Amino acid sequence: MLNVLAAAEWGGEFEGVLDPISALFEFPPILELELFGVDLSINRTIIIAWLGTIFIGVLFTLGARKAEVIPGKFQAFLEMIIDLNRTIALEIIGPKGTKFVPLLTTLFVTIFVLNFSKIFPLFMMPPTSRAAWPLFLALTTWLVFIGVGIKEQGFAGYFGGILFPPGVPKALYIILTPIELLSNLVLRPFTLAVRLFANMVAGHILVVITLVTIHVFLPSMPVGWMVGVFGLIAAPLVFAFELFIIGLQAYIFGMLSAVYIGSSLEAHH
């Protein structure tokens, strides 16, 4: 596909090496910074992430500043978001879940807004498609559900519960304990991060290929413009599909966080 696009762009023949796919995700630094040997350069991804964060801050500050008993349209919209997360928390974690509504709402809104810049004009790049963002969001969940487990059941109680689940024949612990250790402490945060990351990478490549198809084929005169028209028809569908994926990933991340927190709140039966 990429070879065909490049050939069309270069007028029928493409001799050379394509950029690796990572060129879609790496931007040159706008401002070079380095602190203690760590690269802290400011590039487009960082600026998008900052703008997204500022947007969330302004949105919720404006909504909460003049909170009224009978909400207006704007306040009702924000309350709908919070209520969605409250429902998740109450259904999955249980009555103790109200404590975690702020965390779940923050995760949901952050992930949604950062993902949404994938289809937002002029941005067109989700910061969550760089591995650091999902990794640190998953790390937050990881620290919270382990911290909650230790706080609620005690260190020995929590780790005893996940490593040696009761009601299992003693001999099975040889197999079960390593699996439980790996699954609870490594695979949970890892899959949480990779699920978001992989979806965003795939979505970004899909959007780029759709738009580049339009850009390349629409002006090419004899027959190529038909492909361009097809791209024009496909683009809104791709964007709608991506909007669905964006919302779904934000929802799944919050939901699985709630499941993990809920599982460390109460001891295994």
Rounded to the nearest 10°, the torsion over CA 83, 86, 91, 97 is -170
Residue 268 in contact with residue 164, Cβ under 8 Å? no
Q: In the bound complex, what is the minimum distance in angstroms from residue 220's beta carbon to other proteins?
A: 25
- Cβ closest to other proteins, residue 185 vs residue 256: 256
Q: Which two tokens stand for residue 203?
A: 């979505």
Alpha-helical (H) ranges within the chain are 2-9, 44-65, 73-92, 101-116, 132-153, 155-163, 173-182, 188-217, 225-265
CA angle 51, 57, 59 (to 5 degrees): 100
Residue 29 in contact with residue 40, Cβ under 8 Å? no
**Strand pairing partners for 42?**
31
- Cβ closest to other proteins, residue 235 vs residue 259: 259
Which residues of this protein are in contact with other proteins, per CB under 8 A?
91-92, 183, 187, 191, 194-195, 198, 252, 255-256, 259
- Cβ closest to other proteins, residue 191 vs residue 220: 191
Q: In the bound complex, what is the minimum distance in angstroms from residue 198's beta carbon to other proteins?
A: 5
Q: In the bound complex, what is the minimum distance in angstroms from residue 188's beta carbon to other proteins?
A: 8
Q: In the bound complex, what is the minimum distance in angstroms from residue 239's beta carbon to other proteins?
A: 24
- Cβ closest to other proteins, residue 33 vs residue 168: 168
- Cβ closest to other proteins, residue 48 vs residue 246: 246
Q: In the bound complex, what is the minimum distance in angstroms from residue 184's beta carbon to other proteins?
A: 11
